[in-house]
Amino acid sequence: MTPSKLGTVPPRTRSHVAVLMGGLSAEREVSLRSGAAVADALEGEGYRVTRVDVGRDVAQHLYELKPDACFNALHGKYGEDGCVQGILETLAIPYTHSGVLASALAMHKERAKEVMAAAGVPVAEARVVTRAEALKAHVIPAPYVVKPVDEGSSVGVVIVPSGLDRPPNSIAAGGPLDQEVMVERYIAGRELTCAVIGGFVTDVIEIVPLKGLAFYDFEAKYADGGSKHELPAEILPDVYQLVRQYTLKAHQALGCRGVSRADFRWDDTAGGTGELICLEVNTQPGMTGTSLVPELAAYAGWSFGQLVRWIVEDASCSR
């Protein structure tokens, strides 16, 4: 398949960029890796870069720093859910990726499902309960997936197979018992992902977890050799195009800006349903050495440096 090609990268118009990384979420270590890679690439593109390990004093720090723009390399709570976006809006500092509302919507899996389903993007049936309730008895028929309703990077995810009399104790290890979790119907089959960069829809990757991993979990995402990426995905042409169409629909319905990535499952198993389901939209896709969006951008003709330069030049307020 001939790859779709991105357009011309804009010239550098900004001088000083603050790269926000680290933060306060369970995904802190991944964010530090994303931020370091982004900062190195931006320096290679000629920007003056300040690396900001985000704490609760981030507003004061940025007020004193006065960068031309912030590259948001945070993942998870406080960085991906509209919180830091609100701070940057108040400080009137242009920032990357999605704005306050889109970030909050996409981060909350239940709300995101409602918006995507209304736009015609297929999603899996699910219920939101506390982790304690999910541990007490099967909330929906197995097999199903238990995951925090407002975390990313497969943090605290448990797959519950069929045939168990009661939910496994591993659910308790995923986080606090009073934490809200989504109990979602398990979709068998293949893991696919696609991204939007501005108005451009990328090609489609299939992610094949290695090392005996059951799904594209935290280790598969971030460990070297944790997964194999097939680009372009070797799937039916009509399914390939549907993934791209749904990726753009989800991006637009949630109000995303800049870069986003949508994850899917396609049930092509023997005797399976054949359904294509959107699992979620990531408004702050990873930028590590194993991350998918840089790989998709490279396939479309942009180096990592060109990608981060485009993201910085796209930064704004009122997103």
The residues carrying an active-site annotation are: 27, 153, 222, 261, 263, 280, 282, 286
Tokens encoding 17? 């960029």
Q: Which residue has the tokens 């989800």?
A: 250
The four Cα atoms 127, 152, 292, 44 give a dihedral, to 10 degrees, of 160
Task: Name beta bridge partners: 200.
Answer: 197
Q: What residues contact 220, with CB distance under 8 A and at least 6 apart?
A: 154, 207, 209, 210, 211, 213, 226, 227
